[in-house]
Amino acid sequence: MLYTILIMNYEEVAKYLKKQDPILGRIIDQTSPVKLRQSGNYFSDLVESIISQQLSLKAADTIFRRFVALFPDNEVAPENVLALDIADIRNAGVSYQKILYIQDLAKKTLESDIIFEQFETMTDEEIIEQLTKIKGIGRWTAEMFLMFSMGRPDVFSYGDLGLRRALQNLYGLDHEPTYKEAKKIAERWKPFRTIACCYLWRSREL
């Protein structure tokens, strides 16, 4: 998968976040600057997201590689998905339920219910609304798509357990933060909440 690094002064963003939130700043000082990327294939990214649901990273990577290998030139495109035999997809390790989700995504893409080319001019919430019409894609998956496929800079995903636990640990909470508590902390990071979230995820590895 080809990704483009989005042009931004990431060192200045890091300085801004440190000024806004000294607690997050301690993590920023311990790691290299986060850089946002934009994918060249939104459809393939969403298929991978569906396949990865409720699987370990290693298992998801293995199954997705087998799935990609089913296509001519490894091109994961909606018309190619619908041309595949379900038994072949199942043999790659994809569950029947996820096959239905992937087929629904492919059909909606071909029927122009989902037009990826229009996403660049849409707001984050408009994209989330579009994506959650697809079977098997909820708000969390849509938010991860905005962050890691589109490189949208100001997304916060309360639904992510890792982020909630990082907030609890970093900010000395004796409980997992409520939505209201998490939102209040994240307000400090605007308009770079995506980048702040990446630092939070990194904090769990330090």
Query: Which residues have a catalytic role annotated?
Result: 160
How many CA atoms are closer than 13 Å to the CA of 138, on its beta-carbon side? 6
Bridge partners, residue 194, by sequence: none
Structure tokens at 205: 């590895």
Query: Cα(201)–Cα(163) distance, rounded to whole angstroms?
Result: 6
